[in-house]
Each structure stands twice: as structure tokens, then as C-alpha cells.
């Protein structure tokens, strides 16, 4: 393990990169919010024309749906990927302890 005094230039560049990535994350999140609001407004306008429902209520509900539903999908995908990574790590640890025979496809070689 290295102490805090080694490679100061690398550490400074890493801190700068982390700050920039954090800022980029907020920019992307803001852009997603703006797009959800615009999509909600367009959908609310169509709902108002078709059903006569209140534009503001429809806009609020639809904007939340356009923002929350994709977010939940991404969150679910990340949790599933994390489970797969943990499962792969668990099987890698136990692979040496068990005799597992696999069929391999070598493409005819």
C-alpha cells in the first residue's frame, strides 16, 4: 500500500476527473428531467385534447411517469447486474472446491 505522499500529480488528476464526472452526472440528470417535462407536456396536451382532462394535472402525472419509470428500469437492471457479478464472484471462489464438468463449444476446432 502506498502512503498519501506518493504520486501527488496522479492523485490530483484523479480528484479532478472525479469532480468532472460528478458534474457530468448532474448535467445528465438535469437533461433527463427537462426531457421528462417536455414529454409530459406534449402527452398532457394530447390527453387534454382527447379527453378534456386538466392539463396541469396530466402534465404533473405524466412528467413523473416519464422520469420515474425509466429510472426504475435502470435501477432494476443495475441490481440484477450486481447480483450476477456477486454470483460470478461466488462461483469463482467455489469453483476450485467442486469438480464441475462443462460442455464447451470450440467452434469445430
Calculate helix-pair angle for 8-51, 55-95, nearest 10 degrees: 140
pTM, full prediction? 0.64
Q: What is the pLDDT of residue 103?
A: 60
54 touches 60 (CB < 8 A): no
What residue segments make up the domains of the chain, in order of their start?
A: 10-94
Higher pLDDT, 106 or 46: 46
The Cβ of residue 63 has, within 10 Å, a number of other Cβ atoms equal to 20
Quick: pLDDT tens for 21-71: 999 999 999 999 999 999 999 999 999 999 999 999 999 999 999 999 999
36 touches 68 (CB < 8 A): no
44 touches 55 (CB < 8 A): yes
Amino acid at each position: 500500500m502506498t502512503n498519501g505522499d506518493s504520486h501527488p500529480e496522479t492523485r490530483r488528476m484523479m480528484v479532478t476527473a472525479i469532480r468532472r464526472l460528478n458534474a457530468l452526472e448532474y448535467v445528465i440528470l438535469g437533461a433527463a428531467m427537462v426531457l421528462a417535462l417536455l414529454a409530459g407536456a406534449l402527452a398532457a396536451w394530447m390527453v387534454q385534447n382527447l379527453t378534456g382532462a386538466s392539463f396541469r394535472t396530466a402534465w404533473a402525472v405524466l412528467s413523473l411517469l416519464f422520469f420515474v419509470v425509466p429510472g426504475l428500469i435502470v435501477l432494476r437492471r443495475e441490481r440484477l447486474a450486481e447480483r450476477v457479478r456477486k454470483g460470478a464472484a461466488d462461483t469463482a471462489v467455489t469453483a476450485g472446491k467442486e469438480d464441475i464438468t462443462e460442455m464447451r463449444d470450440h467452434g469445430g476446432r
